[in-house]
Chains A and B, each alone.
Chain A
Amino acid sequence: MRKLSVLVLVLSGLLLCTATAQTPLVRLAIPTTERALTPYTYNTGFPGWYLLMLIYDALMITDLDGVPRPWLAETVQVSADGTTWTLTLRQNVRWHDGQPFTAADVKFSYELYQKVTHPRFSGPLRGVTIETPDARTVVLKLSAPSPTFDLTLADTPIVPKHIWERAQDPKTFENPIGTGPYRLTQIVPDQFYRLEANAEYFAGKPRVDTLVLPIIRDATATFTALQAGQIDAATRTLTPELVAQFQARPDIKVISGPGFVTTLLLFNNERPPFNDPRVRRVIAGVISYAELVRTILLGFGKVGSPAFIHPDSPWYNSNLSGFPRLTVDQARQALEALGFKDSNGDGVREFPDGKPLQFVLLTRSGDPVRIRTAELIAQAVKPIGIVFDVRALDSDTVAQLVWPDFDVCKGRNYDLAIWGWSAPVMTKADVRGLFHSDCKLGTLNVVGYANKALDALLDKQAQAVNREERKRLLDEIQKIVAEDLPFLTLFYPDLIFAVRPAVYDGWAFLKGEGIIHKLSFVKR
């Protein structure tokens, strides 16, 4: 038996632990309704799930570096083969109604998600059996080792058995009793939510007594309200062009940090010439990633890694050498050598059969940052004799061409596209989804990339017995991907938030995910 962690969140050294005074009220604007804010009724991944976790707790919690630590559990132990996880629960934890929290609640919750399908919580719990030898011990048996199961333990909220076993239909059940730092005391539909601090919280009374979450749909209205002092913070992120103006104000503080959302250039790996990694490397070599970040994000972002994984992710291989760098002349020579010549002298190269190297670069019309990115990339490849025609289509049409019905097995119909994956893909480092050639496993492999040698490594890392073994395999995988470049990870936009520090300044930045999460409110 190896101890995953026996430490109880020794984080305080990292953080600003100045203010111990209580803040009476923080008004935090959210962009849309989250319905009843229970595990089956909340609406959005961000901020919905993070708000849900103010009311509910999970067995583990990710610390500010994104590494899971015990939370409702006191200790988490994994067997040597990686399939048996034994958790000892914390004592004296109570539900908001005063009932004690026990192992029966854990068993009930996990089996509920297995029985009643939930888009987020059900999948990772498939094939897991739950045993409760006593009221404080939970034994989870997995059908195969899963090195990211601790992330599942940190992701899945526990609901009270004594209340939810009465629920007729869990999908519409609206009782908000949890073990979390806040109790939900009022919902005015489409207007606001009111959360009151749980004074009996096991990790100490939260630092803000009352949280009011007004719903403000429009971005301009949100930031006007912040400037006017009508709200104290917003879950909506600030765009780079507004940072200077907000930083100049003494009453507003701008908090920024790495974000795990990606912006990618997809090559259709099944269509010539993008089926040839040498062509992909030439294109990768003439794009200036630093200039993209400087021009489009005004510096508020990180240059992409050739193998997708963000440099601030615990899974990042820091020995990667980055994208290939080519001058225009070197790129031209490389294309000549590959047989792409400009035989009619019109400035555009042709395939050996005479077809010009002219392709459509798809992007979503509603997203100005991506349209601009596409324009800059088209400019970058023009001097080497390749034409990218930027075509902005509405987002559903782009999705249907790139990822028909969200099913990679249905193929793809595009040359090039600007694309992006949301933060959870990075948090889990879902490399098998991104790169596996079997469309049943490579569920995010929208470029149609296939590399048999890599497939074996991808299967191995998915069933590694522990984080260390998985990290070693991921390092190898990243090396291969950085060579093959099935798609280009252009940049990672930073997450930028604006708050009124005079009202509350206890915000903590969780790497890649931002400041809206439990650790911004509980004593750390």
Chain B
Amino acid sequence: MRNVPNVIGLTLFGVLGAIAIFAPAPYDPHERVGTPFQPPSPQHWLGTNDIGQDIFSEIIHGTRTSLLVGVLAAGGALLIGTVVGVTAGYAGGVVDAVLMRLVDVVLVVPFLPLMILLAAYLGPSLVTVIAVIAALTWARPARVIRSQVLSLKTLLYVEAAHAVGGGFWYVLRRHIVPAIVPLAMAQLVTVASSAILIESSLAFLGLGDPVQKSWGTVLYYAQARGAFLTGAWLWWVLPPGMLITLSVLSFALMGYALEARANPRLRQH
């Protein structure tokens, strides 16, 4: 029974992933295929947007952007987090103290305002958004990984490896990295889900790249062109909103399952 959330999470992710890869959209989302502001019809399942592009196709293609941002930003954040966490945990002393104070700073920085400021300052593009998210979300994985490294370091077999002359890189490769991979995977999934949320929020506020199709930009145009004052929110706002929820849900479920496996204290017997 305890595998159920994991299965649901994986299935959802599989479906979204397949949509992102194959993009089974009926139209080119950049092509104007009808008159603007059409309600849903058999030709356009979710109607058309403010310049006559098919909203359904936009959302399908938006999946690609949103998942890409999620995965890449999370990957970047995890890379920084792992390097910082392993270095701090393994080196200890002054290096640890300095890196952990840096982590503290990043953790207490007012997150969204800084994000908005950076996005506005660096200009809207997908690369900027990914870089900004990665630069602001690496602190938590760094923390978690550091504590794992700290406890690994004191384990007998690691100390034994040291004692027989195993160098830093050898111990790292043979003993530390394999032990933190499951934990890192769980962190990757958590960060990915928040990255998707952040990308959508920035795009909705008009701070993403408005020319790129993503769930957030669909919402941005819906808001900017009066969908909340007319009935259009039903087909223009709700579907991308649901997809954002579903993707975050799938990541969250996978994250729980992975974390339960990786973290012995959460393992159920």
- Mark A residues whose CB is within 8 Å of B: 220, 223-224, 239, 241-242, 245, 295-296, 298, 365-366, 368, 371-372, 375-376, 379, 390-394, 397
Chain B's closest residue to A368 (CB) is B224
Given contacts A296-B51, A375-B51, A394-B123, are A241 and B211 in contact (CB under 8 A)? no
B52 close to chain A: CB less than 8 A: yes
In the bound complex, residues from chain A placing their C-beta under 8 Å from that of B210 are 365, 368, 371, 392
- Give Cα A224 to B207, complex, Å: 26
Check B225–A368 contact: CB distance below 8 A.
yes
Q: Tell me the smallest distance from the CB of B206 to a CB of chain A, in Å.
A: 5
Chain B's closest residue to A223 (CB) is B229
B52, B224, B229: the one contacting A224 at CB < 8 Å is: B229
Q: Mark B117-161, 1 if CB is under 8 A from A, else 0.
A: 000100110000000000000000000000000000000000000
Q: Which of B209-235 contact A (CB under 8 A)?
A: 209-211, 220-221, 224-226, 228-230
Check A397–B123 contact: CB distance below 8 A.
yes
A-B contacts, CB under 8 A, total: 59
In the bound complex, residues from chain A placing their C-beta under 8 Å from that of B230 are 241-242, 245
Check A298–B123 contact: CB distance below 8 A.
no
Interface size class of B (residues with CB under 8 A): 20 to 34
Q: Tell me the smallest distance from the CB of A164 to a CB of chain B, in Å.
A: 42
In the bound complex, residues from chain B placing their C-beta under 8 Å from that of A375 are 30, 51, 211
- Give Cα A242 to B124, complex, Å: 29
Chain A's closest residue to B221 (CB) is A368
- Give Cα A298 to B120, complex, Å: 30
B50 close to chain A: CB less than 8 A: yes
- Mark B residues whose CB is within 8 Å of A: 30, 32, 36-37, 50-52, 120, 123-124, 206-207, 209-211, 220-221, 224-226, 228-230
The secondary-structure label for the interface of chain A is helix
A-B contact pairs, 6 of them (CB 8 A): A241-B230, A295-B52, A298-B37, A365-B210, A368-B50, A368-B221
In the bound complex, residues from chain A placing their C-beta under 8 Å from that of B36 are 241, 295, 298
A241, A366, A368, A376: the one contacting B37 at CB < 8 Å is: A241
Chain A's closest residue to B227 (CB) is A241
Check A392–B51 contact: CB distance below 8 A.
no
Check A365–B124 contact: CB distance below 8 A.
yes
In the bound complex, residues from chain A placing their C-beta under 8 Å from that of B206 are 365-366
Check A393–B51 contact: CB distance below 8 A.
no
Q: Tell me the smallest distance from the CB of B212 to a CB of chain A, in Å.
A: 10
Chain A's closest residue to B52 (CB) is A295
- Give Cα A366 to B221, complex, Å: 10
Contacts beyond the supplied A241-B226, A368-B210, A368-B224: 13 A-B pairs with Cβ under 8 Å: A220-B226, A223-B229, A239-B226, A241-B37, A242-B229, A245-B229, A296-B50, A298-B37, A365-B206, A368-B220, A392-B209, A393-B124, A394-B124
In the bound complex, residues from chain B placing their C-beta under 8 Å from that of A242 are 226, 229-230
Q: Tell me the smallest distance from the CB of A274 to a CB of chain B, in Å.
A: 22
In the bound complex, residues from chain A placing their C-beta under 8 Å from that of B221 are 368
Lowest 6 CB-CB distances: which A-B pairs, in order? A368-B224, A392-B210, A241-B226, A242-B226, A372-B51, A371-B210
In the bound complex, residues from chain B placing their C-beta under 8 Å from that of A391 are 211
A220, A372, A379, A397: the one contacting B229 at CB < 8 Å is: A220
